[in-house]
Structure 1
Amino acid sequence: MNWYAFAVQFCDAQRRRTSGSNRKNVSKALAATTIALLRTPASTFKAVGVRTALREFAFNTRRREEAPPEGAVILKWVERNALSMAAWEDPAKVDEVLRALSIRLDGTPAAASSVKRTRRILNVAMEYAVTHRVLRSNPLPKGRGTAPKTSSAVDKRSLLNAVQAARLLGWIRHRPRGGERLHAFFATMYYAGPRPEESRSDAGGGRSSA
């Protein structure tokens, strides 16, 4: 199995268990990884066009068959030129892929949070490969190819205290248009402390096309 075929399979498997926003992140990560695993650079096509074809169609289960003619040509070329999964058994190639994932299309360094998210998704893909006996072991062990460090600490001085939150929620509740609905929404956010993707009003609502 080559990487492209595996990535499509993994994309479809993830779709059944992730939200729309996460599916977008998966497609972006797989697109960047696929470009790094081509036998030859896609010099015949524009870089933006290749990424778009991969992100919007190849790694979008619902739209895969809707690729326009130029996109379909790109995907056929990618399918023929993708390296086999055996490439992950070469430590030098793994390092090369990880370096490529830390660089944006314009050649500038990608944001640390973006790199961390991409490598986390890639690690899930490797575990999937091991589970389905495509690879013998995960080539991305802990401590290797780690993303740039980011600080997750929150300055408590920037947070609302209980009194401030109660006053703000009370003000929201008495707004003339949608006050009660918004009060319930923001009160849930404050007291339940969900993750950002869980707080989005459109999360899981099927609005994403990914």
Structure 2
Amino acid sequence: MEWIAAHSIKVRDLEDPALLRPALEALSLRLDGGKAAENTTRRKRMVLSNVLRYTVEEKGLLTASPLPRVDWTPPESDDEINFRYVPDPALARSLLGAVRDSGARGEHLHAFFGCLYYAAMRPGEIVALRESDCTLPPTHPRP
């Protein structure tokens, strides 16, 4: 705790916008120093804004939030999806068929990649997916 106290600035010192700018810059970086995704930066800035509002409204440590006084915009990111590289439905069916036909492991991965493409699920959601979670049409052949 002593180290944290020695290496932290006081909340009231945040009224100086120059001290807030490095915090905003840090929000736009990943832990490895690369640029964070735009949504990540926006979410972190919202959390910082909420913390500063809490220090004003609930704790009375600041007279006003200093965030609006800082002229800062997040850096542009290039994490947008380039739809030239997203397969169309026909190509996706072809790719999924090739995966399915590549053996026993391919049958398993066929379902995995199908969930990625058709349901836009995250890998962790797919791993946790169970047959009981699904509602299949009554005419669907059971495996």
Report TM bin, short chain: 0.5 to 0.7
Normalised TM-score (structure 1): 0.44
Aligned to 2:46: 123
Q: State the distance in 2 between where 1:203 and 1:184 align.
A: 10
1:199 aligns with 2:126: no
Q: State the distance in 1 between where 2:15 and 2:120 align.
A: 41
In terms of mean alpha carbon deviation, does 170-179 or 93-102 score higher?
A: 93-102
| TM-superposition CA deviations, 1:130-164 (whole Å, max 9, x none) | 34724665543498422211245433322211111
Aligned partner (choices 77, 83, 88) of residue 9 of structure 2: 83
Q: How much is the aligned-residue C-alpha RMSD, in angstroms?
A: 3.9
Q: Return the offset for 1:114.
A: 6.1
| TM-superposition CA deviations, 1:12-59 (whole Å, max 9, x none) | xxxxxxxxxxxxxxxxxxxxxxxxxxxxxxxxxxxxxxxxxxxxxxxx
Q: Return the offset for 1:168.
A: 1.0
Normalised TM-score (structure 2): 0.59
1:98 aligns with 2:24: yes
| TM-superposition CA deviations, 1:48-94 (whole Å, max 9, x none) | xxxxxxxxxxxxxxxxxxxxxxxxxxx63123442222222221211
CA contact (8 A) 1:116 1:147 kept: no
Q: State the distance in 2 between where 1:104 and 1:171 align.
A: 36
1:168 aligns with 2:95: yes
Q: Which has the higher contact order (CA 8 A, sep 6+)?
A: 1
CA contact (8 A) 2:14 2:66 kept: yes
Q: Return the offset for 1:100.
A: 6.0
Q: State the distance in 1 between where 2:37 and 2:81 align.
A: 19
Report which of the two structures shows the higher radius of gyration computed on alpha carbons. Answer: 2
Name structure 2 gaps, 5 residues minimum.
129-143
Structure 2 residue matching 1:124: 3-state secondary structure = helix
Aligned to 2:82: 155
Q: State the distance in 2 between where 1:79 and 1:182 align.
A: 51
Aligned-pair identity (%): 30
Letter of the 2:123 counterpart: S
CA contact (8 A) 2:101 2:107 kept: yes
Letter of the 1:117 counterpart: T
Letter of the 1:188 counterpart: C
Q: State the distance in 2 between where 1:163 and 1:76 align.
A: 61
Residue 115 and residue 176 in structure 1: after superposition, are their counterparts in 2 closer, same or farther (change >3 A)?
A: closer
Q: State the distance in 2 between where 1:154 and 1:100 align.
A: 24
**After TM superposition, what 4+ stretches of structure 1 lie above 4 angstroms from structure 2?**
99-105, 134-138, 200-204
